[in-house]
Structure 1
Amino acid sequence: MLLIEVTNAREVMRQRIGRLGSRLIGKVVDAEAQVEKALIQELETAFREFGIEARILSVQGPRMLGRCHLEMPVQVREERRVGPES
């Protein structure tokens, strides 16, 4: 599984839409969503060329905590523990 965190979405959008448009970032334009949409389109094209089948998801909420931890809120429907202490 691959996780890709775009860390400069606002800067990318500023380059694409110019100084005047950069004032709209966060008010009218969701920079992160727009960059992710473009990235997904590029990934889809590349995957099709290689014959890769995949699900590409753009989600809001998860975030990286340093280099070793990913914080991802999830709803747990059911939990079962299997092991010597259960």
Structure 2
Amino acid sequence: MLLIEVTNARDVVRRRIGRLGERLIGKVVDAEAQVEKALIQEMETAFQEFGIEARIVSTQTTKLIGNRCEFSIRVRDDRDVKLNDGSVDS
């Protein structure tokens, strides 16, 4: 199982929407949700290309503290990645 924590979501969104949109971060734009949504889409595409089936889950309240993970799970997005034709290329 992999766990990925995006640690610079606000910076990524800030670079994408510019200085004017920076004021919206946290008010109208949920930086973490936007970055995770884009990351999930990219991962889904890559997984399908490699023939990997997986379940990608984005949670809102999981925290990494050192090498310990605290869970109070509230699922934000959940996607099953399946192969289109059911076969794996060698």
Give the structure-2-normalised TM-score. 0.79
Counterpart CA distance in 1 for 2:12 and 2:28 is 16
Higher strand share goes to which structure? 2
Residue type of the alignment partner of 1:69: R
Report % sequence identity.
74
Q: Which runs of 5+ in 1 are unaligned?
A: 75-86
Question: Matched residues in 1 for 2:54 and 2:70: separation?
Answer: 23
TM-score, normalised relative to structure 1 = 0.82
Name which one, 1 or 2, has greater alpha-carbon Rg. 1
| Equivalent-residue separation in structure 2 for 1:2 and 1:61 (angstroms) | 17
Q: Which runs of 4+ in 1 moved over 3 A?
A: none
Higher relative contact order (Cα pairs below 8 Å, separated by 6+ residues)? 2
Q: Which residue in 1 is equivalent to 2:34? A: 34
Q: 2:24 maps to which residue?
A: 24
Aligned-partner SS, 2:55: coil
How many matched pairs? 73
2:72 is matched with: 73
Alpha-carbon distance, 1:71 to partner:
0.6
| C-alpha distance in structure 1 between counterparts of 2:40 and 2:72, whole Å | 22
In 2, the alpha carbon distance for the partners of 1:30 and 1:73 equals: 19
